[in-house]
Structure 1
């Protein structure tokens, strides 16, 4: 299927863009209150619940009314402006209600994943000095387990089935709470969200995100999401846009790239808190008529392997796909373009400075020249309003083709402050200072820049390694392996080697049908493994440089992943180092 991307207007968009950040700004007012005050507030759907026939939708009027009630509850519990309120719930109505309630109160929302174990919860609750935690049945047991070790945590509010183990139940209190609330007048620079980073290099750090960061996110969201259903030719009308992402609303990708931008534009977002599977993803998108989505490369790879031609079994209405977290790679890029009929827009950002680089292919009848073409395998270009460069250790911009650290400048190309920036790491000014080189904020991700301004991901600084004197970036090798029909996913790490310093090793997750055949093979697992290893090695040798093919391949049932869908190469790298130590002992 041929998909037009439109013409290249990147330079014009940058030159003509200017930030408009009001002095006073509140995320709840922008994402909820203004829509709740509109004439159609009782009909305009904010959230659709997948798989809940009893309560399928939540309108903006209902969202505001429930948020007001929860704000009144929090005030009654002694929550003040600036206090941290932990929200430990999956994608559900009450999660969005809690965010709006905390924002309009002027407090700071601290999202925590329901997948966190007791130790992870305890550290974040203690470090943030959260005063209230709002939980449901998915998280209440772990919160209750660490409650005694969190002295500032005065109250635990239970939602749904969590009420019995909490200090009070939300549903039981709801009838006693007023439906009106006078929102706080917050400055754009006031803290709104405290999100803890994954802690790949030391203990997790809390990044304090201001209200204005939502404004900083919008250019990237609009560009990556095909103008998100807004067409000047249909101004004032309902575009029919519906958003969905499996990204947890407790993480930057789910909160700042999905939930809040969708609500900001008054469009419905689908909430689903079940386990991800390719079949569920396609079924959900078909049932709700999803037009715009954010899917991790890991999810897209699984969907590609499970349904190579999804338009047969499913009727889809996709207009835009954004992907981030890992390199998309040209195999997934081609699948989205040829089988889903949409050019995927890869995006890059991080918790501290989110949504700063990406592609802006305009798909379908909106391919009107508004954006710029996506290039397979590229992270994209800086979004309008953001000044992004590849810099060296001294903070100088690297020439095209030379790897360096992706960095974002505090000021845009016009010299105006960029609102995307976080306020700093919570109670950690030294870490905040180390994040910057002058006015450049370093991401810790390596990339090269080509002559046209496109960035090409090389990996995390601590994921790139040398083998036999060659610099190895894992992403390119992993992408090559995934192109093989037997491979669902792969991770490449260094294996310590006395002669070469390190060998290129790949951990490979096999497609289910291949794994099944392997298990019943009459030739025996050792011979089967050796044949498949050789086949995969030849596959890489034929496409990449000779020194890049994996000298060793280990088949694994599943790769270690973060809760945000990123492969934890560090876990595999440490495993190889420990094995090397034991061999030498």
Structure 2
């Protein structure tokens, strides 16, 4: 078991955020000068195309794009949309946008026209960099986005009107560019969060937030190939995650921190599958990874002997939902890499988690606050809860030494009311609420209880879906599961489970009885699902999180006799 160095790390840690800081220089510029031939991107795709790009190539392409953006009228502070999958050009776009002091706005390739239109219009984006696949939706959305003047199109497809081919735009420009100087607090990235109600909110992320992410990143990756007690030792890490680079999980937990440390990241342009995950990790010698629980569940079901693939994996982080002890045990015993769970939000990312190398993890826990972050469980009035009491996870704007935490967002785009509502008081010196429920141990270890709107009561008992879902997952017939309340006049709500079957199993009455008995035998009597419905696939977000809200609303509609989506 790892020696517990947690208290030592926290006591010694101090933030060192320079007044001037720019993501492009930190993630590319300095490496292009110091180690120009070092690999930045390993590209792989479903079509079979593979390529390797150095930091020098990344810098030259970014310089050309920065010049092209300026020639298209993009200026400091302008928002530029990036609608691209994992590929070299996506990294180029982020570096180029930061070099001119503009604001990158990553958007998912899965967004339809309406979702694109809202974000483009709300942000006032002046230019979009988009893949051919998303052009039809983008063209439809553009009618409602008067600020959007030009689209740079990545890929081989016909362009029209104000669209400009990527290659033509870059080839017309010089490969030299002098980046602007930015302050650490200047805006860098605008990411829209879905939330549970109302329209998405744009979280404006400053340059310094990348620095704020780093303690969590290296800790969750068991120090990412570095020796924590000999920092001069070089790292040999190779990183991969299927997390979409359009979201915080892919951008701030994978792409940017990997480049910050001058290491290569694998860009996979294609659909996720368990077989492909093992292949990618083997072919590219992946040593460090971020795999969300949904991916790990699929890999666990598909491969009982993952080490036969000749993996070099040394550290693994997971986030988005609770991993659960079934997956935790598989990672430890079969994959031979204990998983480090992590928790964060777009607004303040990478704040809680585990680090198997430097402190022992408690299986199933969220972990403890990473160095530099002050995290607590608070009640409705903003008071810290006693150990064992359930409350809302909150992050203080200042660390334990009273220094501002650089991980925080600047605020919601054009939504001051929502920004203030996120905090218990002054945004610069108070608790920031996450909307996630947990309880803490005496040593600060957090145990996830679910989203505030996912936890429900049944006959007076407080039900958190995670524990029941994890129990169901241990049954060989279950590939995935989601638990929601079903309205009930007598109990207020019944526990209902939506279950996705593993291949070779039939969803019949006998299996319902078996699954109910399986849960009854392992959890409290009030936790077993009184009703089970088999479903082909659970509704998921583009970042791999189960949308229990969709299923909960379905049950409410059924109970009221309304239409069911």
| TM-score band w.r.t. shorter chain | over 0.9
Instruction: Choose from 553, 556, 562 the match for 2:532.
Output: 553
Partner-residue secondary structure (3-state), 1:553: strand
Mapped to 2, the partners of 1:226 and 1:461 lie a distance apart of 31
CA shift for structure 1 position 6? 1.4
Q: Which residue of 1 aligns with 2:39?
A: 45
Q: Which residue of 2 aligns with 1:367?
A: none
1:485 correspondence with 2:472: no
Q: Tell me, yes or no, if the aligned pair for 1:466 and 1:502 is still in contact at 8 Å.
A: yes
Structure 2 residue runs of 5 or longer lacking an equivalent are none
Partner-residue secondary structure (3-state), 1:578: helix
Partner-residue secondary structure (3-state), 2:181: coil
Q: Tell me, yes or no, if the aligned pair for 1:135 and 1:162 is still in contact at 8 Å.
A: no
Q: Tell me, yes or no, if the aligned pair for 1:343 and 1:374 is still in contact at 8 Å.
A: no
Q: Which residue of 1 aligns with 2:504?
A: 513
Mapped to 2, the partners of 1:403 and 1:430 lie a distance apart of 27
Instruction: Choose from 12, 20, 40 the match for 2:8.
Output: 12
Q: Tell me, yes or no, if the aligned pair for 1:381 and 1:454 is still in contact at 8 Å.
A: yes
Q: Deviations 1:276-317 (Å, cap 9, x if unpaired)?
A: 0000000110111100000000100010011122223x1111
Mapped to 2, the partners of 1:454 and 1:244 lie a distance apart of 28
CA shift for structure 1 position 200? 1.9
Is the alpha carbon distance of 1:491 and 1:172 closer, same or farther for their aligned partners in structure 2, counting shifts above 3 Å? same
Partner-residue secondary structure (3-state), 1:229: coil
Mapped to 2, the partners of 1:356 and 1:236 lie a distance apart of 25
Q: Which residue of 2 aligns with 1:422?
A: 409
Mapped to 1, the partners of 2:294 and 2:332 lie a distance apart of 17
Q: Which residue of 2 aligns with 1:524?
A: none
Q: Which residue of 1 aligns with 2:244?
A: 248
Aligned residues: 558
Q: Which residue of 1 aligns with 2:280?
A: 284
Q: Which residue of 2 aligns with 1:396?
A: 383
RMSD between superposed Cα atoms in Å? 1.5
Instruction: Choose from 433, 437, 441 the match for 2:432.
Output: 441
Partner-residue secondary structure (3-state), 2:307: coil
Q: Which residue of 2 aligns with 1:138?
A: 133
Q: Which residue of 2 aligns with 1:32?
A: 28
Q: Deviations 1:36-86 (Å, cap 9, x if unpaired)?
A: 011x31x20000011477651110000010001000001001111110000
Structure 1 residue runs of 5 or longer lacking an equivalent are 363-370, 519-527
Is the alpha carbon distance of 1:234 and 1:501 closer, same or farther for their aligned partners in structure 2, counting shifts above 3 Å? closer
Q: Tell me, yes or no, if the aligned pair for 1:347 and 1:358 is still in contact at 8 Å.
A: yes
Q: Which residue of 2 aligns with 1:529?
A: 508
TM-score, normalised by the number of residues in structure 1: 0.93
Mapped to 1, the partners of 2:223 and 2:260 lie a distance apart of 13
CA shift for structure 1 position 273? 1.6
Q: Which residue of 2 aligns with 1:358?
A: 353
Mapped to 1, the partners of 2:356 and 2:229 lie a distance apart of 19
Mapped to 2, the partners of 1:509 and 1:348 lie a distance apart of 26
TM-score, normalised by the number of residues in structure 2: 0.97
1:407 correspondence with 2:394: yes
Instruction: Choose from 546, 569, 577 the match for 2:548.
Output: 569
Is the alpha carbon distance of 1:178 and 1:560 closer, same or farther for their aligned partners in structure 2, counting shifts above 3 Å? same
Instruction: Choose from 187, 194, 199 the match for 1:203.
Output: 199
Q: Tell me, yes or no, if the aligned pair for 1:112 and 1:250 is still in contact at 8 Å.
A: yes
1:384 correspondence with 2:371: yes
Partner-residue secondary structure (3-state), 2:515: helix
Mapped to 1, the partners of 2:560 and 2:222 lie a distance apart of 51
Query: Where do 1:187-202 residues align within 5 Å?
Result: 187-202=183-198
Is the alpha carbon distance of 1:259 and 1:297 closer, same or farther for their aligned partners in structure 2, counting shifts above 3 Å? same
CA shift for structure 1 position 164? 2.0
1:458 correspondence with 2:449: yes
